[in-house]
Chain A
Amino acid sequence: MENILEVKNLCKKYKGFELQNVNITLPKGMIMGFIGENGAGKTTTIKAILDIIKNYTGEIKIFGLDNRKEDKKIKEDIGVVLDDMFFPEILTPNDINTIMKNIYKNWDSQLYFKYLNDFTLPNNKPIKTLSKGMRKKLEIATAISHHPKLLILDEPTAGLDPIARNEVIDIFQNFIQNEECSIFISTHITTDLEHIADYITFINNGKIVLSKNREELLEEYGILKCSQEEFEKIDKKDFIKYKKNKYQYDVLVENIKEFNKKYQVNTIDKITLEELMILMVKGEK
């Protein structure tokens, strides 16, 4: 399968934080959810992919091309939403159309105004008068109106109410109908990913701790809720992390079937991405 995004051994050092050998592979036609707590390195990784930050080591290829050498070619086919708002507030959505049609070769004004209409966004109001959610929708409409092949989205649903989030997720799902297109999406709102992501990559403290097919992940990983007595019988190498709660232990298990076979327990629940994230970050070993 052809890869649309490949990150190999990406390293970047800051005072007090370091990205360490980050490896990511996103095949064509897929959606990858990039999860991790605040400050784990999601935005830094995205900024390196987009060449917003410099002085990193490693190799980043988009559409098989080096992200630093083939910058122009690559960026014609990428749609981006960053975590911070980025449009000048005194401009209007109409102005954004005027600007973008002179930047992207494939800018589709008709499609852009269709999205504005679908999102009930005003054309002529300054961006500063729009709510946070409306601005996010405007950024998303802009990101997809030049028919990109890859969307790189940093927290695109942050600040959106559940209805707007649903609309946005639908748009992403429509976008991916074209098998040439892919999405790399970082988010805190892991429930969004449980329905749309094909792959989940989890970053913690600047390191990739897990990268897997979403269905396999949610099928294989489980959470055992047990008493202290039961917990003490489990071999350390048979679980990934555990968290001691008030009345019970939550134990993160990597392979439900094998665990069941060995310990004959039937109380392993399927895990959600949120539980996985919490246990991976807050759990002990």
Chain B
Amino acid sequence: MLGFIKKDLLMIKSNIKILVILLFIYVIMAFQGQMDLSFLIPFISVMIMMSTFSYDTFNKWEAYAVTLPNGRKNSVKAKYLATIILISITTIIIAILSFIISYAKTNIIDFENIIGTTFGSLFATILLQSLIYPAMYKFGPEKARIGLMVIIFSVAIIGGFIANYIDLSAVIKILEYIGAYWIIIFTIAMILMLYVSYKISEKIYFKKEF
């Protein structure tokens, strides 16, 4: 299975120059206060991993992958593990950059705020990828990309509606009640989301014809 993970990471590595340039632009924007870096985790991670799905489909790798030992099982498992590796790397990079930017701008490191926003973004990333991966396997990257846009816009519209018309005090109360346990609860939720998403993707991939 390590071979399948390496394949995805090597494909990402081939595009590393573009990613470094992107990151550089965003860091400059963050320094100027035009962008919050923590929100880049979902964007960068999803874009990078979606490109590997597109390469797989475009280059007809999937049919060949099935002919390799344990190909069907390992292809899916490796995609999820490569994602976890990638998310971990981007999260660490973004967290370090956020600390540096925070300190450079104010001479104070706002630990609580940075950890909170980084963790929130991490949660959003996992949620997004847990939703999009089964769609990638079921409908292919082109259709799933449209689905991703629909999800993002739907969440934005529904979120806006909720914020404007619904009393959020109950939600705030729940969050206050959770208090210090929020990291544990959100971590469990992320693991569960990834697990359920993986199982669905595996089921789809096992039946898929190439």
Chain A residues engaging chain B, CB cutoff 8 angstroms: 47, 50-55, 71-72, 75-76, 78, 80, 82, 84-91, 95, 98-105, 126, 152
Would you call B6 an interface residue if the criterion is a C-beta within 8 Å of the partner chain's C-beta atoms? yes
For B210, list chain A residues within 8 Å (CB): 47, 52-53
Nearest chain B CB to A238 CB, angstrom units:
44
B6 contact set on A, CB distance < 8 A = 98-99, 102
The binding surface of chain B is classed by DSSP as helix
The answer for the CA separation of A89 and B1 in the assembled complex, in Å, is 21
Contacts of A71 in B (CB 8 A): 69-72
Question: With a CB–CB cut-off of 8 A, which chain A residues contact B7?
Answer: 88, 91, 95, 99
Does B169 reach chain A (CB closer than 8 Å)?
Answer: no
A126 to B69, CA, bound (A): 25
CA distance A78 to B210 in the complex (A): 19
Quick check: B70 and A72 within 8 Å, CB to CB?
yes
Q: Are B2 and A102 in contact (CB under 8 A)?
A: yes
Partner of A103, one of B56, B60, B63, B68: B68
Secondary structure of the A contact surface, majority rule? loop
Q: Is B3 an interface residue (CB 8 A)?
A: yes
Contacts of A76 in B (CB 8 A): 69
CB pair B59–A86 under 8 Å, yes or no, is yes
Give the interface centre of B1, B4, B6 by most chain A CB atoms within 10 Å: B6
Select A52's contact among B1, B3, B66, B70, beta carbons within 8 Å.
Answer: B66
Contacts A54-B209, A100-B3; is A72 near B60 (CB within 8 Å)?
no
Query: For residue A143, which residue of chain B has the nearest CB?
Result: B67
Q: Are B59 and A88 in contact (CB under 8 A)?
A: yes
CB-nearest residue of chain B to A74: B69
Chain A nearest CB: distance from B15 CB in Å? 7
Do A54 and B207 have beta carbons less than 8 Å apart? yes
- Chain B hits for A99, CB < 8 A: 3-4, 6-7, 10
A50 touching B67, Cβ below 8 Å: yes
Q: Complex formed: what's the CA distance from A222 to B66 in Å?
A: 41
Q: How far is the CB of B18 from chain A (nearest CB, A)?
A: 11
Which residues on the A side are within 8 Å of B1 (C-beta)?
A: 102
In the complex, the chain A residue whose C-beta lies closest to that of B55 is A88
- Closest B residue, CB atoms, query A84: B60
Q: A55-B209, A98-B10 are known; give 5 further A-B pairs, CB within 8 A.
A: A47-B210, A71-B71, A75-B69, A100-B3, A126-B14
Q: Is B64 within 8 A of A75, CB to CB?
A: no
* B1-27 interface code vs A (CB 8 A; 1 in, 0 out): 111101100110011000000000000
Q: Give the residue of A47, A55, A75, A91 whose beta carbon is less than 8 angstroms from that of B14.
A: A91
Whether the Cβ atoms of B4 and A103 lie closer than 8 Å is yes
Q: Is the CB of A85 within 8 A of B10?
A: no
